[in-house]
Copies of this chain bind each other. A is one copy, B any other.
Amino acid sequence: MLARVSSTPTFKRLPRAVREQQMLDAAVKVFSRRGFHAASMDEIADDAGISKPMVYAYLGTKEELFVACLHREGTRMMEAIAGAAASDLPADERLWRGLRAFFGFVGAHRDGWAVLYRQARGEQPFAAELATMRGRLVEVVAGMLDHALRAKGREVRATDLEVVAYALVGATESLADWLADHPEADPEKTATRMMNVAWLGADQLLRGITWHPPAG
């Protein structure tokens, strides 16, 4: 066996923790470019500058690897948002800061977002995990609306609140998607636009103004 001849400068041996991060970086990149199925473990290993068995040794099977990506990116995102939107602020201020943090994250981690949102969504095994994460977001938004409503002495059925929150989260994700496809776009400006759509509509609702279908 020729093995590694000294022609190549005998690449560094790195501690596990470092290699794991490199692998995750590569995996996120490849998954986001190719999609879960089309991505091959060989390509990921290659991209990480390591051989395939190392990936299996450290991060396990392909599914487990994907879950690990999901976890890392998801955690990073949630932390970015939670860190920005402290809960002792008024609702509109929290919403604004949360949105800014969110779009900032997406702008800076387009690959991560693609993995999280575009890929995980379609694949059965991961959709549930993703849904849970989104569920937490919806709850937070619904909580903010509810809080603001109660402050005005109003009360709304929980389902209605949840659905509205769901719509707002959806709109936000959609804009994030748009942002991921427009590298030249400004995350801050996108956040402002979202705020316009969301808060002006919500504000109306908070005042008790509602729309209802025409008769017939």
List which A107-122 residues lie within 8 A (CB) of chain B.
118-119, 121-122
- The A25-68 residues at the B interface (CB cut-off 8 A) are 34-38
B-binding residues in A (CB < 8 A)? 34-38, 93, 96, 118-119, 121-124, 127, 160, 163-164, 166-175, 177-178, 190, 192-205, 209-214
Contact B124 A121 (CB under 8 A): no
Contact B197 A201 (CB under 8 A): yes
Chain B minimum-CB-distance residue to A199: B211
Task: Give the interface SS of chain A, mostly helix, strand, loop or mixed.
Answer: helix
Query: In the complex, A36→B124 CA distance in Å?
Result: 11
Taken together, the copies of this chain in the complex come to 2
Contact A124 B169, CB 8 Å, known A193-B163, A204-B200, A210-B196: no
Which residue in B35, B124, B199, B203 is a CB contact (below 8 Å) of A124? B35
Contact A198 B201 (CB under 8 A): yes
Alpha-carbon gap, A133 to B96, bound state (A): 31
A168 in contact with B197 (CB, 8 Å): yes
Given A122-B118, A211-B200, A167-B192 contact (CB < 8 Å): no
* B122 adjacent to A164 (CB under 8 Å): no
> In the assembled complex, which residues on chain B have CB atoms less than 8 Å from the CB atom of A119?
122
**A194 with B212: in contact, given A122-B118, A200-B200, A200-B204 (CB under 8 Å)?**
no
Which B residues are in CB contact (< 8 Å) with A204?
A: 200-201, 203-204
CA gap between A171 and B165 in the complex, in Å:
10
